[in-house]
A and B are shown apart, each in its own frame.
Chain A
Amino acid sequence: MAFSIYDFTSFNQAIDKWLYDLLPPVLALIVEMTLIGLLFLVFYAIVGLFLVYAERKVCAFMQNRVGPNRVGPYGIFQTIADFIKLLMKELIMIRNSDKLLFNLAPFIVIIASFMAIAAIPFAKGLHAIDFDIGIMYVIAVSSLGVVGVLLAGWSSNNKYSLIGAMRSGAQIVSYELSVGLSLLTIIVLAGTMQFSQVVEGQANGWFIFKGHIPAFIAFVVFLIASTAETNRGPFDLAEAESELTAGFHTEYSGIKFAFFFLAEYMNMFIVASIAATVFLGGWMPFHVGGWAGFNHIMDWIPPLFWYFGKTGFVIFLMMWFKWTFPRLRIDQLLNLEWKYLLPINLVNILIMAFIVLMGWHF
């Protein structure tokens, strides 16, 4: 069992083999699934806590503030303290609300983000499941979250929540198109929808560089559309606090609110990792053709660092424009999608297909 930080394949296979030798196949499968589930739970919690802390620090620095700095050094335990507070808060049940849907909604939101994270490759050989239609799967699963948002708004018996949920429905259904089409542009270039092969295809250059201008346009469109899809500023109309107090989760308290809160950050993490994987080469190091020495040094940096570095960069970009731009209005939001992003995207795919046909890409 050779453990290497550069390639997890043999390590994982060794565990797999050991489990199957030890247990009957069905039991081994169950144990494996439980293990992966637990790992993801822990990962989920850590990333969620870290992202909340990161957002608070980033926005604090953009706003001339210090941010959390009381709990632990530099306030790093602030989110844990907040989480404990949320756990201990009373779960308020709203009179005349639809109890079943009201309780179900946070779980749907969080399950959707959970399912999406399963398909993402973190390093070579380090992903839960490698579908041959990985990108398709992630797009499909991540859009399930809107069902939870709609249910939350509908069942809360609150008009603010309902307006927020309706906005969110219109928004996510529209922007789903742009997310899909911009990823499709890269699928045309990559020739595969399997995440592992998409990453392998970027060994000698990331797709954002390989695909000339169309790939860059696709990246920008994806960034805009995915920000809108995760309900983050400047597209946070579903929870526009100056208009709708807190939008669809106005009536949620305690741990149920925490679920929505966590799901928002996990969705951001997921779209950032898709952007990193599809456009910026995932865990692939940065290579420049012909510079053997430079490439060697880049290879020496472990893929996990590359992966989290790129994801972190995209997350930072998203935080940056959340804390800079004012919010759009609902009709402007839909105009932006249907009148600008969608036509740009369609033309972009054609150009990309043409480039690939002529073999002009690197």
Chain B
Amino acid sequence: MKEVIHTPVQKVEEEEYHINMGPQHPSTHGVLRLVVTLQGEIVKRVQPHCGYIHRGIEKMCEKDTYPQIIHLTDRMDYLSAHINNHAVCLLVENALQIDVPERVKYIRTIMDELTRIQSHQLWWASFGMDLGGLTCFFYGLRDREKILDIWEESTGARFLQSYYTPGGLMQDIHPDFQKHVKEFIKYFKKKIKDYDRILSGNIIWLERSRGIGMLTKEEAINFAVTGPSGRGSGWSCDVRKHHPYALYDKVDFKEVLYYGGDTLDRYRVRMDEMRESMHIIEQLIDNIPEGDYTAKMKAVIKLPAGEYYQRVESARGELGVYCISDGNKTPYRLKFRTPSFSNLGVLDHLSREFKIADLVAIGGSLDLVIPDIDR
């Protein structure tokens, strides 16, 4: 006999009603479903229902070898594919204590920062669209195309690159890589001023974001809201600063911090991070040393039995990979600590007692990527 599972029904106060935002809704950026309890226009509760794009990546990892796992990580947070790859690569390299060539570190750092820029560009585009400024969407995507072109040239793919391998890279960069990255930096430095002109100084936009969705530093720590969303509350949580990997301990960059904790400050953090990322790339792009693009690796990679943890700073927060190996060529268990999942947890807390239009703004400011939540 089939057992019927009853989901607990939440008590509805008088004059309250539910609406379903999603799984198909323009502002949930994917298949996230929010059950919103409203009183008039005021949001009383938000219940996120995830799992609509759950593909069981963690389970699939248990039967895949480490180089194969790289290809699955692309599909988690598809906007920071390189950085996801980086996490697994670093995990394997640190476990086997392999020194990757200096050239690889340079290229990986540049690629990571390009990833961050394009992710923030797409975030800016869709955030503008959430607030009704449709033109932002096209501006953001136009500039993001330039980075995708650079990637296509070097990695062969525009979106899900799977460019990093344990020990190095799939292939060497294209001879024109440096030239095109420098062109892009020059181009985007001009265009980011346009971004400020169309949104940052706009009175409607300021009114829509100032004081909306207040997150204090303590709450950010309690809810484990990392990345730009946490740094907008003044929580210094940049993995690149606190646990440097690749070349982040050698380059000069600021950890962008704002202390307001509202939607406006989360916005400002990302805008400044784009500038910082360009600053990092500028320091590295001319100095890429010659050498191999990969370290010598065994044909079959086996991690010694034990537990490993590696974290990196993805475009939306701290991405952690926790791996238990029993000495085989596949991990015994792999767990991803994805930033979007914990950032989603704070959505209900932030948007209570605000208007439904603010819920959309807050959701946009947390920069959720749904496949990253569901994995």
Partner-B contacts on A (CB < 8 A): 59, 62-65, 159-160, 163, 167, 233-234, 236-237, 240-243, 245, 323-332
Give, as a whole number of angstroms, the nearest-CB distance from B192 to chain A. Answer: 16
Assembled-state Cα–Cα distance A65/B356 (Å): 31
Chain A residues with CB under 8 Å of B139's CB are: 63-64
Given contacts A240-B357, A243-B27, A332-B207, contact A326 B128 (CB under 8 A): yes
Cα distance A9–B104 in the bound complex, in angstroms: 82
A59 to B41, CA, bound (A): 30
Interface residue ranges of B328-371 to A (CB < 8 Å): 355-360
Which of A59, A160, A325 meets B204, CB within 8 Å?
A325
Stretch at the interface among B129-137, B151-159, B285-293: B129-137
Does residue B142 face the partner (Cβ distance < 8 Å to A)? yes
Chain B residues whose CB sits within 8 angstroms of the CB of A241 once the complex forms: 26
B27: nearest residue on chain A (CB-CB)? A242
Residue of A nearest to B28 (CB): A242
- Residue contact A62 to B135, C-beta cutoff 8 Å: yes
Are B207 and A240 in touch, CB under 8 angstroms? no
The answer on a CB contact under 8 Å between A245 and B355 is no
Is B26 in contact with A326, judged by CB distance below 8 angstroms? no
Q: What separation, in Å, do the CA atoms of A234 and B134 have in the docked complex?
A: 10
Chain A positions within 8 Å of B208 at CB level: 326-329, 332
| 11 A–B pairs (Cβ distance < 8 Å), ordered by A | A64-B139, A64-B142, A163-B41, A234-B204, A237-B357, A240-B132, A242-B131, A243-B359, A324-B135, A325-B204, A327-B204
Interface status of B295 (Cβ within 8 A of chain A): no
- Chain A residues whose CB sits within 8 angstroms of the CB of B357 once the complex forms: 237, 240, 243, 327, 329-330
Select one of B17, B25, B204 contacting A159, CB under 8 A.
B17
**Residue from B129, B133, B142, B358 within 8 A of A325 (CB atoms):** B133
Cβ of B205 within 8 Å of any chain A Cβ, yes or no, is: yes
Interface presence of B251 (CB below 8 A): no
B12 CB–A CB distance under 8 Å: no
Which residues, 9 to 29 on B, are CB-close (under 8 Å) to A? Answer: 17, 19, 25-27
Within the complex, what minimum Cβ distance (angstroms) separates A264 from chain B?
16
Distance from B24 Cβ to chain A, minimum over Cβ atoms (Å): 9
A323 contact from B27, B134, B199, B356, Cβ within 8 A: B134
Could you say which of B17, B134, B356 contacts A243, with CB atoms under 8 Å apart?
B356
Q: Complex formed: what's the CA distance from A326 to B357 in Å?
A: 12
Assembly CA distance A138 to B112 (angstroms): 60
Asked if B202 is at the interface of the complex by the 8 Å CB criterion, the answer is: yes
Are the C-beta atoms of B130 and A163 separated by less than 8 Å?
A: no
Cβ A323 vs Cβ B132 within 8 A:
no
Q: Nearest residue in A to B20 (C-beta to C-beta)?
A: A159
Chain B residues closer than 8 Å to A63, beta-carbon distance: 134-135, 137-139
By DSSP majority rule, is chain B's interface helix, strand, loop, or mixed? Answer: helix
A233 contacts across to B, CB distance below 8 A: 132, 134
Whether B198 and A324, one on each chain, are in contact in the complex, defined by CB atoms closer than 8 angstroms, is yes
Residues of A within 8 A of B359 (CB): 243
Give the contacts of B100-140 with A (CB-CB under 8 A).
128-135, 137-139
Q: Which one of A62, A160, A234, A331 lies within 8 Å of B132 (CB-CB)?
A: A234
Q: A64-B139, A236-B132 are in contact. Are A329 and B358 (CB under 8 A)?
A: yes
CB-based nearest B residue for A331: B355
Closest CB of chain A to B294's CB: distance in Å? 39
Query: How far, in Å, is B205 (CB) from chain A's closest CB?
Result: 5
B362, chain A: closest CB distance, angstroms: 12
Q: How far is the CA of A241 from the CA of B135 in the complex (A)?
A: 14
Closest chain B CB from A322 CB (angstroms): 9
Cα(A325)–Cα(B129), bound, Å: 10
User: Which residues on the A side are within 8 Å of B204 (C-beta)?
Assistant: 234, 325-328, 332
Residues of chain A contacted by B135 (CB below 8 angstroms): 59, 62-63, 323-324
Residue of B nearest to A233 (CB): B132
Tell me the smallest distance from the CB of A340 to a CB of chain B, in Å: 12
What 12 new A-B contacts, CB under 8 Å, besides A242-B130, A323-B135, A330-B357?
A59-B135, A64-B138, A233-B134, A237-B357, A242-B131, A242-B360, A243-B359, A245-B25, A326-B131, A326-B204, A327-B204, A329-B355
Q: Complex Cα distance A241/B357, Å?
A: 11
**Complex alpha-carbon distance, A332 and B212, angstroms:** 13
Residues of B close to A159: CB separation below 8 A: 17, 19
Q: How far is the CB of B209 from chain A (nearest CB, A)?
A: 9
The answer to whether B355 touches A330 (Cβ under 8 A) is yes
Residues of B within 8 A of A332 (CB): 204, 207-208
Residue from A160, A327, A329 having most chain B Cβ neighbours under 10 A = A329
Q: Which of B124-182 contact A (CB under 8 A)?
A: 128-135, 137-139, 142
User: In the complex the two chains form, what is the Cα distance from A59 to B139 in whole Å?
Assistant: 12
The docked-state distance in angstroms from the alpha carbon of A240 to that of B357 is: 9
CB-CB contacts below 8 Å: B183-212 with A: 198-199, 202, 204-205, 207-208
Name the residue of chain B whose CB is nearest to the CB of A325: B204
With CB as the reference atom, state the residue of chain B lying closest to A322.
Answer: B134
Distance in angstroms between the alpha carbons of A323 and B204 in the assembled complex: 13
Q: Which residue of the partner chain, among A160, A242, A329, contacts B19 with CB atoms under 8 Å?
A: A160
Measured in the bound complex, the distance between the Cα atoms of B142 and A331 in whole Å is: 33
**Complex Cα gap A323–B27 (Å):** 18
Bound complex: CA A329 to CA B206 (Å): 12
Question: In whole angstroms, what is the CA distance A243 to B208 when docked?
Answer: 14
CA distance A59 to B134 in the complex (A): 9
Which chain B positions have C-beta within 8 A of A65?
A: 138
CA A245 to CA B21, docked complex, whole Å: 9
* A242 CA / B362 CA spacing, docked (Å): 13
Task: Tell me how far the C-beta of A298 lies from the nearest C-beta in chain B, rounded to whole angstroms.
Answer: 36
Q: Chain B residue with minimal CB distance to A60?
A: B138
